[in-house]
Amino acid sequence: MIPARERIEAAGVHTWIVAKIEHPAALEDLTAIVESADVVMVARGDLGVEIPLEEVPAAQERIVSACLERGTPVVVATQMLESMVNHARPTRAEVTDVATAIRQHVSAVMLSGETASGQHPVKAVETMARIAETVEQSTKGLPDPPALAAYVSARVIAGAAIEIARETDAKHLIVGTEHGNAARLMAAHRPRIPIYAMTNRIRAARRTTILPGVESLIVEEQSRARSTVAEAVKQLYDMKRIRPNDTIVAISGSPKAISGRTSTIRLLFINEQGELSDLE
C-alpha cells in the first residue's frame, strides 16, 4: 500500500485507497492495513475461499470493529443478495445478512453479481435500499460505535460538535472538508441527524458518497469561514433541507472554512425570515 500512496502523492492528487481484505495474511496485519487505507472492503467471497466458511462472520465483525475504532469507512461485499441473480426475491437469510452488516455500523453494503450480471439488477438495488432504510430506523436505540482512536485534533472537534448537537437538539451538521477526511471522522460517530460535507472540490464531494448519512454541498470558499458556512446554509435553505427555527452545528477550518485546519465549532440558528444567526 505504501508504493501506491507514494505514487498518488507524487501525482499531487488525493485519491483514496480501498484495501480489499480477502486473505488470512491481511487479517494478521489488520491494524496496519486499517491505519494505512482510506476505505476497507470485507471481500467475503475471496475471504471465504481462503479461510473456513464458519470463520467468515467473525472475521467480518473483527474487520468492521477495527475500522470503527479508526474512523475508517468499511464496506461489506459479495453474495449479500446472491439469490437475486436469478430470482426476483431474496431469501430470508440474505435479508438478515444485510441487516446484520448495517447493525454492525458498516459504512456501506455492496452488490456485485446481482447487478453486474443478474436478471433483476434494479430490483436487487431497490431491495437492498429498502432493507437498509428499515434497519437504520430500528438501530436508533443501539449503542453508538466505539470512540475513535486516531486523528486527535479533528476527532476531538468532531466529537464535540456531535455532543453539542445532541445537547441543543440540532437538526443538521455541516462540516467543511477539503479532501473528505473531516467528513469521514464526523460520519464515524454515526449521528442521528444529516451531515452536509461542505467543499469546493468535486473529487471530495464524490468521495463522501460512501460515508453514511453524508451529503455533499459544493460551495465557493470565501476569505472568512463564516461567509462560506453562510453560503452552505443558504443552499440548504433554498433546497428546503433546513427550515426556520432549525438549529445547526457547523465545524470548519480557520481562517478559511474548507482549506483551513479544522478548529472551529459554530452553533447556528435559522430565524423566521430564513436568515442565519449565531447562538451565544
- pLDDT grade, residue 145 (50/70/90)? low
* Residue entry with cell 472568512: 224
pLDDT at 181: 86
Task: Judge whether 229 lies within some domain.
Answer: yes
Work out whether strand 276-278 and strand 261-270 pair parallel, antiparallel, or are unpaired. Answer: antiparallel
pLDDT at 154: 64
Q: How many helices (H) and strands (E) does the chain have?
A: 12, 10
The whole domain housing 106 covers 2-138
Strands, sheet with 261-270, edge to edge from the N-terminal-most edge strand: 214-218, 195-199, 172-176, 247-254, 261-270, 276-278
For 184-208, give one letter per residue: b (16+ CB within 10 A) or e: bbbbbbbbeeebbbbbbbeebbebb
Question: What's the first-to-final CA gap in the chain, in angstroms?
Answer: 46
181 and 109 within one domain:
no
pLDDT at 235: 93
pTM (2 decimals)? 0.80
Residues 201-219 have pLDDT tens digits of 999 999 999 998 999 999 9
Domain boundary among 138, 171, 204: 138
Which of 138, 158, 139, 162 shows the shortest CA–CA distance to 150? 158
115 and 32 within one domain:
yes
102 and 25 within one domain:
yes
Higher-scoring residue by pLDDT: 256, 2: 256
* Residue entry with cell 481484505: 21
Please give the share of the chain, as a percent, with pLDDT higher than 90. 68
CATH of the domain at 118: 3.20.20.60
156 and 134 within one domain:
no
Fill in the DSSP letter of residue 86.
T
pLDDT at 280: 47
Task: Judge whether 168 lies within some domain.
Answer: yes
